[in-house]
Each structure stands twice: as C-alpha cells, then as structure tokens.
Amino acid sequence: MAVATGAAARATPAEPSSTAETPPPTPVPILAVKASRLIDGKGGPPIKDGVVVVRGQRIAAAGPADAVKIPEGAIVIDLGQGTLLPGLIDCHVHLEGRPDHHEEIWTFRDSPVSGAITAVAHARKTLEAGFTTVRNVGGAPFVAVELRKAVDEGLVPGPRIVASGPAISATGGHGDVNGYAPEVSLRGLEYQIADGEAEVRKAVRTHLKYGVDLIKVHASGGVFSRGDQPGAQQLTEAELRAAVEEAARAGRKVAAHAHGAASIKSAARAGVASIEHGSLIDKEGIALLKAKGIYLVADIYNGDYTATNAERLRIPPEFVAKDREITRIQRDGFARAVKAGVKIAFGTDACLYDMGDNARQFAVMVKHGMTPMAAILSATRNAADLLGRTADVGTIEPGRYADLIAVVGDPLADVSELTRVRFVMKGGETVRLDSQAFPNGMIQVPATAGAR
C-alpha cells in the first residue's frame, strides 16, 4: 500500500469527510418599507403609496404599491401616512469639531484623541438625524479616515464617511496657527501647510498615502480663524491646479474652501469639484461655476446659530464680527447662484452648531430661493453626484444601498419636517424607528400570503 508523504500527508487529516453535511446558507433578510408618500430623490413627483423592497443591504425594488410585489415572508415596516425619502447627505461636516471649542485655548487643549472620541459620538447623532452619508472636509490628521474604517467595519455606528485629511493651507492662512510667539507650534501642521506647487503636490500625495477619499484645500482666508480675511486669496491658482492634478492622478476630487470672489474663480479655473462657502461670489464666479458644472456647497444656516449663541460658547469676538459681516452677503450670493442655475449640493459646516441639527439648513435654503424639492435633491441626488457615489446612494432605486429615512408629514409642504426624522435605515439595518410616530411598526407577511 502506498503511503502519502510530505505536504500531502500533512493535508490528509484536515480534508473534510465526503459525508460531512454542508451548513445551509444564511438566508438574506427581505424587508419591505411602505409609506403614504415616497420621494425617490430622482426629481419626479412623490409616489403615492410607495413600497421599497430590501434584500440584504440593497434595494431590490421600489415604486407604487400596485406595481411592487412584497415577497412572501418579508418583514414589513409600515410607516402609515409618513413620507419616505433617501438617506440624506451632508457634503461639509467636521465630525470631530464642537461649537463650544472655538475659544482659542482649545487649540492647545484638544488632541487628535479627544477629537476622535468626539467624532464617534457625533457620527451616531448625525446618523440618527437621518444623514446616512457625510463628506468630512478637514480635521486633525487622519481622524476621519480612521473613523470611516471603524464605521465600515461595524465597530461604531455612523453614516458612510467620505473623508479628507487636514485642509491644505498656505503659511499664515486659514489652516495655520496665527498670532502666537515663533516658538509655538502644533503637531500635525506638517500635513497641511504648503507653499508653492511642489509642496502642495507633496501634501496631496501624503494625504493619498494615508487613505483619503478627497482633498480639501483652503483657497481663501476664513471666518473662524485669527488674523486673516475671508475675502483674501491664499493659495495661488497654480498651487490649486497642482492639487487638482495630483488628486486626479489617483481618481480623487478637490473641495476648495473659498469665500472671496478671486479665490472662487481661481479654484474654478483650476478644476476643483466644489466651492465650499462661496460667500463673496460675484457674477463672473457664478457664470464660471455654471459653465464648468462645479458644485456650490454653501453653509447658509450656521450664521443664525453663531449670532444667537456666541457669548454662551465664548466664540472669539474677531470670529463673531467676521461671521456677522459675511452671513448676509453669503445668502444673497447663494440666492443669485440658485437663480442662475448653479449646481447646489447640501453642506452645513457641521461643528459650528449642535451636531444632528444639520437639517435646519433646508428651511434657510428655501427662504433664499430653492423649492423644497430642489433643497431635498441637493442633499440626495446632487450630493451623491458630487461625491461620485450615485451607484450607491442618493436615490431610492434598485441596486442602491437601502439608506432610507421617513418623516411623519410632507416635507414638500413644510421642509422643516426634515428636522424631525423618525425612521432611519442604513444598508438595510433599521437604526431608528419611532413607535409613537409610526405605531404600525413591523409585521411579518405570512410565507404563503404573497401579499402586496
């Protein structure tokens, strides 16, 4: 009898018996979500008596109840007279930030660790408020990237995160630490201060090395920073173009913080994907954004919060004065951009107000020229397009992630309904279901029913 030797002999005991039973595959859960109104994020009118069928993490079918069959044995989530929408997307957040930490002492007290702990808490609040995807644009070196990984691995609850590294700034610019003795420095600035095209290219490459999804640059001065002016251009057009070129080599987009008219136009000519804030945009800048299809991401709510809460939060007077001056001008420019047909994506600069209140901006957008439907599309279809994620999020249709939210009323009649989200699903998993708002809750369709 031949005897097996070597590797074959060592493998023999581990080989499965031909008579061993293979465990049955785990069945993919099937859910069906019903609501009186369905806004699918594609721009059409609401669907009456909408149904969304979910298999696993993704949408299998969606449409009116008389056209979508609910599979036998499905779990049905009945939202009654509510309105079902795609999960919302905020394209400008800082999850590690706090509205009570803008006093200058926090520059030296906060560490990346404290910011990371804050970001975990804020990720959950943001998700429960109905924002199932966010774009985190700027923060301590690479906290958002690590948080994205933790959320994706299921370690902590949170929205899908499209993460940048720290925003790339010029020396003395919006991202630098200004007004202190020369001996004062902070760890992490080496990742964000860049002067000249070569340094900008190196900074972008470094950010890519650490796994960012996009690049954030500071093209102009800022509001919540010392010693600079929002309207002043900081990175040059050549530096901005260098950032765009390096990012494009890796298939990444660039978001440009740009308040001033000159910086907006330079960033647009350089080829950025979005202008953040856009506060002092002029007629030429509006035309340039429209011609190039560049998104405007304007945080037009948070000025109200700052004006009301500045003293309580101990926000430095310089920041408050700049914010007061810029808010009205920014809103006027936003209205002109909307009227001209510039593409708008929803973004709030979350961290300047209490996290989870992102949806308060919808009413301000409607007040300054958008219809409720257009405001909703800015946080669904348009936002997904800016992020390059239209195959996964932003609309309710087959193949997309089952990221869904619901409110009790009709947000097309009162867009502030979106501040009162009562149902949240992310990737087919129910994150929030308010039983008082939706008392019908969950029911099981009998396996033999085949009910619609």
Question: What is the per-residue DSSP string for 339-396?
Answer: HHT--B-----BTSS-TT-GGGHHHHHHHTT--HHHHHHHTTHHHHHHHT-TTTSSS-
Question: Using CA atoms, how far apart are residues 58 and 317, in angstroms rounded to an integer?
Answer: 48
CATH no. for 30-87+396-444 = 2.30.40.10
Residues in CB range of 305: below 8 A, 6 or more apart? 99, 352, 353, 354, 357
Nearest by Cα to 169 from 107, 91, 256: 256
Q: Which of 38, 224, 76, 26 is nearest to 138 (CA)?
A: 224
Active site residue 213: no
Nearest residue to 156 (alpha-carbon basis) of 110, 100, 118: 118
3-state secondary structure at position 266:
helix
Position 12, amino acid: T
Q: What is the pLDDT of residues 86-105, one digit of tens each?
A: 999 999 999 998 767 665 65
pLDDT confidence band for 6 (50 / 70 / 90): very low
For residues 145 and 232, the model is more confident at 145
Q: Which residue spans of the chain are classified as CATH 2.30.40.10? A: 30-87+396-444
Amino acid letter for position 364: V
**Maximum CA extent, the chain:** 93
Token output for 131:
């924002």
Give yes or no for residue 452 having a pLDDT over 50. Answer: no
Residue ranges in 280-355 assigned as alpha helix (H): 283-292, 302-313, 317-340
The highest-level CATH class for domain 88-387 is alpha beta
Contacts of 44 (CB under 8 A, 6+ apart): none
Query: What secondary structure letter does DSSP report for 26?
Result: P
Residue intervals in the chain for CATH 3.20.20.140: 88-387
DSSP bridge partners of 296: 275, 344
Query: What is the per-residue pLDDT across 355-385, written as a single tens digit (0 to 9) for each?
Result: 899 999 999 999 999 999 999 999 999 999 9
**Alpha carbons 417 and 397: distance in angstroms, whole number:** 23
Cβ pair 43, 381 in contact under 8 A: yes
pLDDT tens sequence across 298-330: 999 988 888 787 678 777 778 777 778 888 999
Question: Is 410 a catalytic site residue?
Answer: no
H/E element holding 77? strand 75-78
Options 349, 357, 392, 403, the catalytic residue: 349
Q: What percent of the chain has pLDDT over 70?
A: 88
First to last CA, the chain: 65
Residue 214's SS3 state is: strand
Residues 6+ apart with CB under 8 A from 284: 261, 265
How big is the CA angle at 279 (ends 278 and 282), to the nearest 5 degrees?
Answer: 80
Length of the chain (residues)? 452
Please state, for a pLDDT cut of 90, what percent of the chain lies above it.
Answer: 72
Q: What is the pLDDT of residue 250?
A: 98
What is the spatial distance between Cα 384 and Cα 378, in angstroms, rounded to a whole number? 9
pLDDT of residue 16: 46
In 390-436, the DSSP E strands lie at 404-407, 423-426, 429-433
- Say if residue 271's pLDDT is above 50: yes
Q: Enumerate the β-bridge partners of residue 136.
A: 93, 163
Give the least confident one: 155-164, 229-238, 240-249, 260-269: 229-238
Catalytic residue (choose from 34, 125, 216, 426): 216
Going by pLDDT thresholds of 50, 70 and 90, the confidence category of residue 272 is very high
Please give the sequence-ordered ranges of beta strands (E in DSSP) within 94-221, or none if there are none.
Answer: 131-136, 160-163, 214-218
Burial (0-12, 13-18, 19+ Cβ within 10 Å), 336? middle
In this structure, the dihedral spanned by the alpha carbons of residues 357, 358, 361 and 363, taken in order and rounded to 10 degrees, is: -60
Average pLDDT over residues 196-210: 98
Q: What is the pTM of this model?
A: 0.90
What amino acid occupies position 357?
Answer: D
- Reduce the DSSP state of residue 435 to 3 states and report it: coil
